[in-house]
Structure formats: structure tokens, C-alpha cells
Amino acid sequence: MISIIIPTMNRSEYLVRQLEYYDRVKCPHTIYIGDSSVGYHAEKVQLSIAKLKNQVEVNYFECQELNDRQTMKYLIENTKEKYCAYIGDDDFLVPNSLSKCAEFLENNADYRTAQGCGILFSLEQSGAYGDLKSVGTYWKRKEAEDDNPSRRLVGFSSNYWVPLFSLHRSKEFYEDFENNEIIPDRSFGELMPNHLTIMRGRSKFLNCLYLVRQVHDARYILPQSFNWLTGPKWQPSFQIFHDTLRDALVEKEGISQEIASRVVKEAFEKYLRNVFPKKQLERSKSPLASIKEVAKQIPGLKKMYHQARSAIPVLGSEMSLQGLLKPSSPYHADFMPIYRTITTPLD
């Protein structure tokens, strides 16, 4: 009923770790891997898949000629399941929570996506395995409940998150990749399907551990520099972004192109205002940011900082390492298989 789609390229250690996790929890959902790797990495992934035969269903596709966004669209197009969710090769989706989200969408046709809580973790060393250095909140409660597509779009841009990770109906997820393969800029390649998803339908938060993401040096992060705005790919990419959202909004809400264009521009302006000044302000004024900078300079203090940060409950929730390890945590049962996969890999 659910497919998990994973594009990957030359990061076999992370992908094998994720497959080990799905093996541990006896994942009932089908895995779709679009692999752009060559040589050693491709061989390692295929060997891992062979070991999972008759335990976890995996469909493997060679995608050396495709970029990450083209691979995602290709995988969605080839899924046979009614629902699907995307995950990076270095992260985890919780199968139990995917099932809960699918049940919700099955009973609520007026919602387009559903998701639960998300956490971030980092390791004491580089790579896919080892001791956890810090754990914190990636997102706590993300949803879009407004009935009006324009208001939903503007509200989403004001508080951007990544519904690419949400559970989607496969047909609708494919629709939300409209024009994505022709957009030159990778960042707009993320922004556009996320905005289309929220504009086209409501999104529901369910209180479960849904997504676990790793912080590391190779992780892709959307630009937070004004240099992005002056790059050669920006203007043609924004034009595709604008025109695609404008036309989708006209179709969805029945408004004129002129009004829809104003809504899209207002939404994107709010996104820019939210991302750039906010990040700069955090770096310059946040006490936490100051602590981080000090920790980088003093030997030993950086490790102490991360250990203390991990132990402190984040936002008063159970989303710290100390809280998640407690059996009383509502997220404990779903967190522990991921924790064991990271800290005690299979032979």
C-alpha cells in the first residue's frame, strides 16, 4: 500500500544502513531505490539488497543518467502502491508512522499529505555509524489546515518546511513534480514541489515519530545567502516556479492569472524575508549561536556542549536523546530500532 522512494549516488554506507533498519523492523512497505552510483557503491548496494531477499521488498533501478530530481520523478512514476514517501539515503522514515498516515489519508480524502514528528541527530565521528553526539527537533508540529489555497500557500511560505518527506498519494505526488525536471536550479527543484503540494491540498500532523534525519557535512541545505539571488540559474528558475504555481493556483481556486501571480509573488517574498534576515539575525544575536561559536574555538568544550545539548529536553518535549531513551516516551518504541541500527550495525 505504501512505497518508500530513495534516490542515491555514491553513498552506499548510508543507504545500506537504512536498509538494515528496514530489515530490523520487518518493514511491510516496498522500497524503491534509484541508484546513480557507479563501481564500488553500486555493487555494495546490490549486495545488500540481495541479502534482504524474502525479508524486505526492494525494487532497484539504475539511474546513472538522471539527476536527483529526475530520479525522484522516475521512481514515483514506477511505484505500484497507492501512497508513497520520499527519504534521503542518509535518513530514516518510520514504517509504523507511515501506516498511520496512510490510514488517515484513506479516511480523509480532503487532505493531500500527512506526517508526524521529526528529529535530527549527529554522530561523534563522520560516517553512518557510531555514538550519537546530539539529538534535537527537526520539526515538532507541521501541518496546513486552511481551506483556502492562496492563504495556505502564503502561510506555508512564511514558515517553510519540507512536505517532500510527508506521505502522499502517489498520483498526486507525481503531479506535484510538474515541470521539476526542467528547472535549472536545484534549490527551486525542492521549493516548487513543496509549494505545489501545500497549495493543492491540506496537510495533517499526527503525533508519532515519523522522520529521523542526520546532520553531516555532505547534507544539502537550501541557500541562505544573497549570492543565490544573483546566480545565473536564479531568474529562469524563478520564472518556471512562478508560472507553474500561478497556473496551478488558477486551476485550483478559479481566480485570474493576475491575482494568482500576485499571490505567488507575495508568498515567495515572505519566504525570502523569513529565510535570509532570520538566519542572519540568529547568527548575530542568538545566545545559542554564540555558545556554538565559542565551542568551536576551545578544545573539549565543543564535545561538552553537544553532550549537554543532547541531554536537555527540546522545547519541553521528549525529543532529546535522554527523553527518547526513556520507555515512557511516546516515541521510544519507534526510536530504539533506529538508535540500535546507528550504534550497533549488523554484521
Q: 128 near 338, Cβ under 8 Å?
A: no
Length of the chain: 347
User: What is the per-residue DSSP string for 129-168?
Assistant: -S-EEEEEEEES---B--S-HHHHHHHHHHT---GGGSEE
The packing angle between helices 186-200 and 234-253, to 10°, is 10
CA-to-CA distance for 238 and 236, rounded, in angstroms? 6
- Band the pLDDT of 119: cuts 50, 70, 90: very high
Q: For residue 343, how far is the Cα from the chain centroid?
A: 22
Among 57-61, 296-300, 341-345, top mean pLDDT goes to 57-61
Residue in the structure block whose three cell numbers are 526542467: 182
pLDDT of residue 304: 44
The pLDDT tens digits for 121-136 are 999 988 999 999 999 9
In this prediction, residues 92-114 reach a mean pLDDT of 98
pLDDT of residue 307: 47
Q: For residue 326, how far is the Cα from the chain centroid?
A: 26
Strand ranges (E), the chain: 2-8, 30-35, 58-62, 83-86, 92-93, 111-123, 132-139, 167-169, 202-214
pLDDT of residue 345: 74
Q: For residue 224, how far is the Cα from the chain centroid?
A: 18
Q: 92 near 212, Cβ under 8 Å?
A: yes
Taking 70 as the threshold, does the pLDDT of residue 33 lie above it? yes
Taking 80 as the threshold, does the pLDDT of residue 89 lie above it? yes
pLDDT of residue 317: 56
pLDDT of residue 294: 43
Q: 149 near 252, Cβ under 8 Å?
A: yes
Query: How distant, in Å, are the alpha carbons of 6, 76, 113, 248 from that of 197?
Result: 19, 15, 8, 10
The model's pTM: 0.86
The pLDDT tens digits for 215-232 are 887 666 677 667 888 889
CA-to-CA distance for 140 and 323, rounded, in angstroms? 14
